[in-house]
Chain A
């Protein structure tokens, strides 16, 4: 049923958000059950809502095949950073508590349509999916596992960029993760990058953009510099579709835009071409 259909039972005591999901893009009320079942894609406007890393794993990996590999790598505080609103260490611990994850990416081994892979999935809820030392370490270990096991690496990005609270150490994770990708290239191990909403800043300018195959979800925000910074710099209006997946496809930086409902099938299809036995 469509977004306009009212669910059958509404009692005064049932909280509204338990029954209805509101699409962040078109503001339509969608029955909660339908929103959840439908991959969290708006049935009205096709908006792809942000997923938690575990929701993504459940959608992409064969049932029961995922095994986490770097749970022991947790968030760090190399600068002992604090700003006006308090210590980074406290914010990091709050993010761990809120998400139940140790860092902004979940990595592991899994199978996709029977094909063994190493997979990493970022979680935007964890400090905006920012790239920092723990995130970078998990990605490098995933790349090293892919190299050792000679299995394809798949990374799903969802990130506002480098995490400021770890300063230069976060910047260095761009080089560190790309060093891991470089080794896969030399060993001819497939690496597929999937850019989801949003993939910006230092993550777009490192591992997310150097896949053998770059895939994005529809309408995902993808770009290097922030929209406001660009507007202030060039003092002109930016096109409506600027920094969307569709814009990047048109400019030659993506191989494909793939609807969430077709993502697993598409990955499996590409993997069959990419693995040279």
Chain B
């Protein structure tokens, strides 16, 4: 990342490179860095256990939560195991199972989003990738427990949104969140994948743009040089932001919470 000069205002395309930096904290780093305890829960109870999307009981600053998130690896082996953070339907169904469990036990959900997208595979289609994501969107809208989302790295389209319908959506300063990858958009609308920097600009995918569009609620500032230059400080900032919002959300009665969540998404694009 040596070519990125942080003393200038970064371009959206430079921010995409930072969001994808393999040295950026991944979910394993967040579990280690901000959780006092983590009890991983496996499986969707129907097909399998997707290693691309993990979750379990976690304690963050004394708060009991259900933590879910996509998993990017730090090594080739881990990335292959975790399918580079691209979940299959069973991953989304496991996430839903854990959300419903959180609702049952009255504990909040914390969702850490970092994925290039849902896995585009033959088996994923056969097992209903579309249905799994659609079901999650519908269930999250009415989930009767507080739900905090943090976009930590890549927020890749429906694969990100499939675990990201929350009461508050936080975003790290150099994360991105988009309906399509800049490369994909460029190859369709510019008919040239090399125009990705232009597409990144036009799609308005940075935290600054998304805050202005009211798609996210708060930007979590990153250390100078971005999260990979000082993961400890970045993880601590995420932890503080999560705890602040959990505290506020827990004061709301559940009917109000769910009504406000509905109003939030109903207002999108109005």
A-side residues, CB < 8 A to B, are 76, 78-79, 81-85, 132-134, 136-137, 140, 162, 164-176, 178-183, 185-186, 201-202, 204-210, 222-226, 229-230, 233-234, 236, 238, 242-243, 251-253
Which residue on A lies nearest to B139, using beta carbons?
A182
A258–B131 alpha-carbon span in the complex (Å): 20
Which of B138, B177, B178, B199 is close to A178, meaning CB atoms less than 8 Å apart?
B138
The answer to whether the Cβ of B121 comes within 8 Å of any Cβ in the partner chain is: yes
Known contacts A85-B189, A167-B203, A179-B266; is A251 also within 8 Å of B126 by CB?
yes
Known contacts A225-B125, A242-B125, A243-B125; A171/B269 CB under 8 A: no
- Of the listed stretches B25-33, B157-165, B235-243, chain A binds B157-165
A136 near B269 (CB under 8 angstroms)? Answer: yes
In the A-B complex, the 10 residue pairs with the smallest Cβ-Cβ separation, listed nearest first, are: A133-B269, A225-B120, A178-B137, A179-B141, A204-B130, A172-B268, A224-B130, A209-B134, A182-B141, A83-B189
Q: Is the CB of B122 within 8 A of A182?
A: no
Assembled-state Cα–Cα distance A82/B202 (Å): 7
Taking a contact as CB atoms under 8 Å apart, the answer to whether B269 and A173 are in contact is: yes
**Is A171 touching B142 in the complex (CB atoms < 8 A)?**
no
Q: Are A186 and B142 in contact (CB under 8 A)?
A: yes
What is the CB-to-nearest-CB distance from B270 to chain A, in angstroms, rounded to a whole number?
Answer: 7
Docked CA distance A202–B117 (Å) = 12
Chain A at the B interface: SS class = helix
Question: A43 CA to B57 CA in the complex, in Å?
Answer: 58
A-B contact pairs, 29 of them (CB 8 A): A79-B202, A81-B202, A83-B198, A84-B191, A164-B185, A166-B179, A168-B215, A171-B161, A174-B161, A175-B141, A181-B138, A182-B142, A183-B142, A202-B157, A202-B179, A205-B118, A205-B133, A205-B137, A206-B134, A209-B130, A209-B134, A210-B131, A222-B130, A223-B130, A225-B118, A225-B129, A230-B125, A234-B122, A251-B126
